Protein backbone atom coordinates (compact mmCIF):
# COMPACT_ATOMS: atom_id res chain seq x y z
CA UNK A 1 0.00 0.00 0.00
CA UNK A 2 1.55 3.25 -1.14
CA UNK A 3 0.91 6.54 0.62
CA UNK A 4 0.07 8.08 -2.78
CA UNK A 5 -2.85 5.70 -3.41
CA UNK A 6 -6.14 7.58 -4.02
CA UNK A 7 -7.91 5.71 -1.23
CA UNK A 8 -11.20 6.42 0.50
CA UNK A 9 -10.91 5.57 4.20
CA UNK A 10 -13.78 5.42 6.67
CA UNK A 11 -13.02 5.89 10.38
CA UNK A 12 -15.83 5.05 12.81
CA UNK A 13 -15.58 6.73 16.19
CA UNK A 14 -13.50 9.35 14.41
CA UNK A 15 -14.11 12.08 16.98
CA UNK A 16 -12.62 10.00 19.82
CA UNK A 17 -9.04 10.16 21.03
CA UNK A 18 -7.70 7.48 18.70
CA UNK A 19 -9.92 8.54 15.80
CA UNK A 20 -8.70 12.14 15.78
CA UNK A 21 -5.04 11.10 16.01
CA UNK A 22 -5.51 8.54 13.24
CA UNK A 23 -7.27 11.02 10.94
CA UNK A 24 -4.49 13.55 11.51
CA UNK A 25 -1.91 10.93 10.54
CA UNK A 26 -3.85 9.92 7.44
CA UNK A 27 -4.10 13.50 6.22
CA UNK A 28 -0.34 13.88 6.64
CA UNK A 29 0.88 10.55 5.25
CA UNK A 30 -1.74 9.80 2.59
CA UNK A 31 -1.86 12.99 0.50
CA UNK A 32 -4.29 11.60 -2.09
CA UNK A 33 -6.63 9.83 0.30
CA UNK A 34 -10.06 11.11 1.27
CA UNK A 35 -11.21 10.37 4.80
CA UNK A 36 -14.78 9.99 6.00
CA UNK A 37 -15.22 10.61 9.73
CA UNK A 38 -18.25 8.70 11.04
CA UNK A 39 -19.63 9.34 14.53
CA UNK A 40 -22.83 10.30 16.34
CA UNK A 41 -21.68 13.49 18.10
CA UNK A 42 -22.49 16.57 16.02
CA UNK A 43 -20.65 18.99 18.33
CA UNK A 44 -17.41 17.01 18.21
CA UNK A 45 -17.70 16.80 14.44
CA UNK A 46 -18.22 20.54 14.23
CA UNK A 47 -15.13 21.16 16.39
CA UNK A 48 -13.04 18.62 14.48
CA UNK A 49 -14.04 20.11 11.12
CA UNK A 50 -12.86 23.54 12.28
CA UNK A 51 -9.65 22.13 13.78
CA UNK A 52 -8.55 20.13 10.74
CA UNK A 53 -9.99 22.40 8.01
CA UNK A 54 -9.19 19.95 5.19
CA UNK A 55 -10.98 19.50 1.87
CA UNK A 56 -10.01 15.80 1.97
CA UNK A 57 -11.91 15.21 5.21
CA UNK A 58 -15.67 14.62 5.11
CA UNK A 59 -18.06 13.96 7.99
CA UNK A 60 -21.13 11.81 8.39
CA UNK A 61 -23.38 11.66 11.42
CA UNK A 62 -24.53 8.17 12.25
CA UNK A 63 -24.49 5.28 14.68
CA UNK A 64 -22.83 1.91 14.06
CA UNK A 65 -26.01 0.34 15.45
CA UNK A 66 -27.89 1.55 12.34
CA UNK A 67 -27.13 -0.86 9.49
CA UNK A 68 -28.74 1.34 6.86
CA UNK A 69 -26.58 4.31 7.78
CA UNK A 70 -23.45 2.16 8.03
CA UNK A 71 -24.18 0.77 4.56
CA UNK A 72 -24.45 4.30 3.18
CA UNK A 73 -21.20 5.32 4.87
CA UNK A 74 -19.25 2.34 3.50
CA UNK A 75 -20.36 2.74 -0.11
CA UNK A 76 -17.28 3.33 -2.29
CA UNK A 77 -14.92 2.93 0.66
CA UNK A 78 -11.58 1.07 0.31
CA UNK A 79 -10.62 0.79 3.99
CA UNK A 80 -12.58 0.82 7.25
CA UNK A 81 -10.98 1.55 10.62
CA UNK A 82 -13.58 0.57 13.20
CA UNK A 83 -12.83 2.50 16.39
CA UNK A 84 -16.38 3.21 17.60
CA UNK A 85 -17.23 1.47 20.87
CA UNK A 86 -18.85 1.85 24.26
CA UNK A 87 -15.73 1.65 26.44
CA UNK A 88 -16.50 2.64 30.02
CA UNK A 89 -16.60 -0.51 32.16
CA UNK A 90 -19.07 0.77 34.81
CA UNK A 91 -21.41 2.15 32.15
CA UNK A 92 -21.39 -1.20 30.35
CA UNK A 93 -22.12 -3.09 33.58
CA UNK A 94 -25.05 -0.81 34.39
CA UNK A 95 -26.38 -0.66 30.81
CA UNK A 96 -25.55 -4.09 29.39
CA UNK A 97 -27.84 -4.05 26.38
CA UNK A 98 -26.48 -0.68 25.28
CA UNK A 99 -22.95 -2.11 25.29
CA UNK A 100 -24.12 -5.18 23.39
CA UNK A 101 -25.90 -3.07 20.76
CA UNK A 102 -22.88 -0.84 20.16
CA UNK A 103 -19.97 -3.24 20.53
CA UNK A 104 -21.44 -6.48 19.17
CA UNK A 105 -24.29 -5.54 16.86
CA UNK A 106 -22.32 -2.52 15.68
CA UNK A 107 -19.41 -4.80 14.74
CA UNK A 108 -21.80 -7.11 12.91
CA UNK A 109 -23.10 -4.13 10.94
CA UNK A 110 -19.56 -3.15 9.96
CA UNK A 111 -18.82 -6.69 8.74
CA UNK A 112 -22.02 -7.00 6.73
CA UNK A 113 -21.77 -3.52 5.23
CA UNK A 114 -18.12 -4.09 4.28
CA UNK A 115 -19.06 -7.32 2.49
CA UNK A 116 -22.05 -5.70 0.81
CA UNK A 117 -19.94 -2.84 -0.53
CA UNK A 118 -16.81 -4.88 -1.37
CA UNK A 119 -14.57 -2.89 0.96
CA UNK A 120 -10.94 -3.99 0.55
CA UNK A 121 -9.70 -4.05 4.16
CA UNK A 122 -11.22 -3.66 7.60
CA UNK A 123 -9.30 -3.26 10.86
CA UNK A 124 -11.19 -3.12 14.15
CA UNK A 125 -9.74 -1.80 17.40
CA UNK A 126 -9.87 -4.15 20.36
CA UNK A 127 -8.64 -4.16 23.96
CA UNK A 128 -6.73 -6.31 26.43
CA UNK A 129 -10.08 -6.66 28.23
CA UNK A 130 -11.15 -9.04 25.42
CA UNK A 131 -8.56 -11.66 26.46
CA UNK A 132 -10.13 -13.83 29.20
CA UNK A 133 -12.78 -11.13 29.83
CA UNK A 134 -13.71 -10.33 33.43
CA UNK A 135 -16.40 -7.74 32.64
CA UNK A 136 -19.13 -7.11 30.11
CA UNK A 137 -17.07 -4.60 28.15
CA UNK A 138 -14.36 -7.23 27.62
CA UNK A 139 -16.95 -9.86 26.73
CA UNK A 140 -18.54 -7.62 24.10
CA UNK A 141 -15.15 -6.80 22.60
CA UNK A 142 -14.27 -10.50 22.49
CA UNK A 143 -17.50 -11.06 20.54
CA UNK A 144 -16.61 -8.15 18.29
CA UNK A 145 -13.17 -9.65 17.61
CA UNK A 146 -14.74 -13.02 16.76
CA UNK A 147 -17.21 -11.37 14.39
CA UNK A 148 -14.42 -9.52 12.60
CA UNK A 149 -12.25 -12.62 12.17
CA UNK A 150 -15.27 -14.66 11.03
CA UNK A 151 -15.89 -12.03 8.37
CA UNK A 152 -12.99 -13.59 6.44
CA UNK A 153 -14.94 -16.85 6.10
CA UNK A 154 -17.94 -14.95 4.74
CA UNK A 155 -15.86 -13.17 2.11
CA UNK A 156 -14.64 -16.23 0.23
CA UNK A 157 -16.05 -14.95 -3.05
CA UNK A 158 -15.32 -11.33 -2.23
CA UNK A 159 -12.09 -9.43 -1.73
CA UNK A 160 -12.78 -8.09 1.77
CA UNK A 161 -10.22 -8.88 4.49
CA UNK A 162 -10.78 -8.36 8.21
CA UNK A 163 -8.21 -8.04 11.02
CA UNK A 164 -8.07 -6.71 14.57
CA UNK A 165 -5.62 -4.58 16.57
CA UNK A 166 -5.53 -5.22 20.33
CA UNK A 167 -3.76 -3.05 22.91
CA UNK A 168 -4.02 -1.84 26.50
CA UNK A 169 -3.95 1.53 28.28
CA UNK A 170 -3.46 4.52 26.01
CA UNK A 171 -1.64 7.49 27.48
CA UNK A 172 -3.34 10.76 26.67
CA UNK A 173 -6.69 9.30 25.65
CA UNK A 174 -9.94 10.52 27.15
CA UNK A 175 -10.47 8.81 30.49
CA UNK A 176 -6.74 8.14 30.89
CA UNK A 177 -5.50 7.64 34.45
CA UNK A 178 -2.94 10.45 34.11
CA UNK A 179 -5.44 13.37 34.20
CA UNK A 180 -7.28 11.56 37.01
CA UNK A 181 -4.10 11.26 39.10
CA UNK A 182 -3.35 14.94 38.47
CA UNK A 183 -6.83 15.84 39.69
CA UNK A 184 -6.48 13.67 42.79
CA UNK A 185 -3.06 15.19 43.49
CA UNK A 186 -4.76 18.53 44.07
CA UNK A 187 -7.02 16.85 46.64
CA UNK A 188 -4.04 15.55 48.58
CA UNK A 189 -4.26 11.78 48.05
CA UNK A 190 -4.40 9.35 45.12
CA UNK A 191 -6.67 6.27 45.24
CA UNK A 192 -5.00 3.00 44.20
CA UNK A 193 -7.12 -0.09 43.69
CA UNK A 194 -4.29 -2.55 44.47
CA UNK A 195 -0.55 -1.84 44.97
CA UNK A 196 0.35 -4.98 42.96
CA UNK A 197 -1.54 -3.85 39.84
CA UNK A 198 0.39 -3.66 36.55
CA UNK A 199 -0.61 -2.36 33.14
CA UNK A 200 0.74 -2.13 29.60
CA UNK A 201 1.21 1.46 28.44
CA UNK A 202 1.38 2.93 24.96
CA UNK A 203 0.83 6.28 23.29
CA UNK A 204 -1.87 7.12 20.77
CA UNK A 205 0.83 7.53 18.14
CA UNK A 206 2.10 3.99 18.78
CA UNK A 207 -1.45 2.69 18.45
CA UNK A 208 -1.81 4.51 15.13
CA UNK A 209 1.50 3.03 13.92
CA UNK A 210 0.30 -0.48 14.72
CA UNK A 211 -2.91 0.01 12.74
CA UNK A 212 -0.93 1.31 9.76
CA UNK A 213 1.41 -1.70 10.02
CA UNK A 214 -1.62 -3.98 10.09
CA UNK A 215 -3.06 -2.36 6.98
CA UNK A 216 0.19 -2.91 5.10
CA UNK A 217 0.83 -6.50 6.18
CA UNK A 218 -2.58 -8.08 6.86
CA UNK A 219 -3.65 -11.28 5.12
CA UNK A 220 -6.97 -11.22 7.00
CA UNK A 221 -7.72 -13.03 10.24
CA UNK A 222 -4.93 -11.60 12.38
CA UNK A 223 -5.21 -10.04 15.82
CA UNK A 224 -2.21 -7.71 16.01
CA UNK A 225 -0.73 -7.10 19.48
CA UNK A 226 2.08 -4.54 20.01
CA UNK A 227 5.18 -5.13 22.09
CA UNK A 228 4.94 -2.38 24.70
CA UNK A 229 6.34 -1.77 28.20
CA UNK A 230 4.68 -2.51 31.53
CA UNK A 231 4.63 -0.29 34.62
CA UNK A 232 3.01 -0.64 38.03
CA UNK A 233 0.11 1.69 38.70
CA UNK A 234 1.73 2.77 41.97
CA UNK A 235 4.82 3.74 39.99
CA UNK A 236 2.66 5.78 37.61
CA UNK A 237 1.24 7.66 40.61
CA UNK A 238 4.72 8.29 41.98
CA UNK A 239 5.97 9.68 38.66
CA UNK A 240 2.89 11.80 37.97
CA UNK A 241 2.45 13.09 41.52
CA UNK A 242 5.74 12.73 43.42
CA UNK A 243 5.33 13.06 47.16
CA UNK A 244 1.54 12.69 47.06
CA UNK A 245 0.27 9.97 49.43
CA UNK A 246 -1.84 7.10 48.09
CA UNK A 247 -4.63 5.08 49.68
CA UNK A 248 -5.85 1.61 48.68
CA UNK A 249 -9.54 1.32 47.77
CA UNK A 250 -9.63 -2.27 46.47
CA UNK A 251 -10.14 -3.72 43.00
CA UNK A 252 -13.43 -2.70 41.44
CA UNK A 253 -15.90 -5.22 40.00
CA UNK A 254 -14.70 -6.49 36.63
CA UNK A 255 -11.19 -5.09 37.06
CA UNK A 256 -8.11 -7.27 36.61
CA UNK A 257 -4.95 -7.21 38.69
CA UNK A 258 -2.80 -7.61 35.58
CA UNK A 259 -3.48 -7.17 31.88
CA UNK A 260 -3.40 -10.10 29.47
CA UNK A 261 -3.21 -9.52 25.72
CA UNK A 262 -2.30 -13.03 24.57
CA UNK A 263 -3.51 -16.05 26.54
CA UNK A 264 -1.76 -19.42 26.81
CA UNK A 265 -4.56 -20.94 24.75
CA UNK A 266 -3.71 -18.55 21.92
CA UNK A 267 0.00 -19.42 21.94
CA UNK A 268 -0.35 -22.22 19.35
CA UNK A 269 -1.71 -19.63 16.89
CA UNK A 270 0.63 -16.74 17.74
CA UNK A 271 3.50 -15.48 15.61
CA UNK A 272 6.18 -13.10 16.87
CA UNK A 273 7.57 -10.24 14.81
CA UNK A 274 10.17 -7.64 15.75
CA UNK A 275 7.75 -5.08 17.16
CA UNK A 276 4.49 -6.99 17.55
CA UNK A 277 2.74 -10.35 17.81
CA UNK A 278 -0.08 -11.65 15.63
CA UNK A 279 -2.69 -14.16 16.78
CA UNK A 280 -3.76 -15.96 13.64
CA UNK A 281 -6.87 -17.85 12.67
CA UNK A 282 -5.97 -21.54 12.19
CA UNK A 283 -6.87 -21.45 8.50
CA UNK A 284 -4.42 -18.61 7.88
CA UNK A 285 -1.62 -19.84 10.12
CA UNK A 286 0.61 -21.25 7.39
CA UNK A 287 0.06 -18.29 5.08
CA UNK A 288 0.63 -15.55 7.65
CA UNK A 289 3.52 -17.20 9.52
CA UNK A 290 5.53 -17.88 6.37
CA UNK A 291 6.81 -14.33 6.07
CA UNK A 292 10.33 -13.19 6.83
CA UNK A 293 11.37 -12.03 10.29
CA UNK A 294 8.67 -14.00 12.09
CA UNK A 295 8.56 -17.10 14.30
CA UNK A 296 6.01 -19.06 16.28
CA UNK A 297 5.99 -18.34 20.01
CA UNK A 298 6.59 -21.29 22.37
CA UNK A 299 3.53 -23.32 23.30
CA UNK A 300 2.21 -22.10 26.65
CA UNK A 301 3.42 -18.53 25.98
CA UNK A 302 1.28 -15.70 27.33
CA UNK A 303 1.68 -11.95 27.08
CA UNK A 304 0.89 -10.42 30.47
CA UNK A 305 1.73 -7.08 32.02
CA UNK A 306 3.20 -8.69 35.17
CA UNK A 307 5.51 -11.15 33.35
CA UNK A 308 6.44 -8.81 30.50
CA UNK A 309 10.19 -8.60 29.79
CA UNK A 310 9.99 -4.88 28.92
CA UNK A 311 9.37 -2.44 31.77
CA UNK A 312 9.32 1.32 32.07
CA UNK A 313 11.63 3.03 34.50
CA UNK A 314 10.67 6.29 36.17
CA UNK A 315 12.84 8.14 33.68
CA UNK A 316 11.52 6.44 30.54
CA UNK A 317 7.94 6.98 31.70
CA UNK A 318 8.65 10.66 32.38
CA UNK A 319 10.17 10.97 28.92
CA UNK A 320 7.07 9.51 27.26
CA UNK A 321 4.77 11.79 29.25
CA UNK A 322 6.90 14.78 28.27
CA UNK A 323 6.82 13.82 24.59
CA UNK A 324 3.02 13.77 24.59
CA UNK A 325 2.74 16.91 26.75
CA UNK A 326 1.27 15.22 29.82
CA UNK A 327 3.87 16.72 32.18
138, 98 Cβ separation under 8 angstroms: no
H or E element, residue 57:
strand 57-61
Does residue 122 contact residue 160 with C-beta atoms inside 8 Å? Answer: yes
Q: Are 271 and 296 in contact (CB under 8 A)?
A: yes
Asked if 141 and 127 touch (Cβ cutoff 8 Å), the reply is yes
Parallel, antiparallel or unpaired: strands 303-304 and 260-262? antiparallel
- Distance (Å, rounded) from C-alpha 110 to C-alpha 70? 7
Backbone angles phi, psi at 38, to 5 degrees: -115, 120
Which residues are identified as catalytic?
129
Q: Do the Cβ atoms of 82 and 122 come closer than 8 Å?
A: yes
Contact 107, 82 (CB under 8 A): yes
Query: Rounded to 5 degrees, what angle do the CA atoms 71, 73, 74 make?
Result: 65
Amino acid sequence: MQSTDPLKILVTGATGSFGKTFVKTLLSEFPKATILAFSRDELKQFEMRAEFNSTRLDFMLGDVRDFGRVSQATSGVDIIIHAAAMKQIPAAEQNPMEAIKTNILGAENIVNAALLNNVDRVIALSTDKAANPANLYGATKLCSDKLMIAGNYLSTEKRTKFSVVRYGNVLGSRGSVIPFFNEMKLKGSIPITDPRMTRFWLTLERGVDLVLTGLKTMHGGEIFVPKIPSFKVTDVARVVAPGTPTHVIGIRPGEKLHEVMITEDDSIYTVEFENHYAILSPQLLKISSSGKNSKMVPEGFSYRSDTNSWWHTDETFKTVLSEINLV
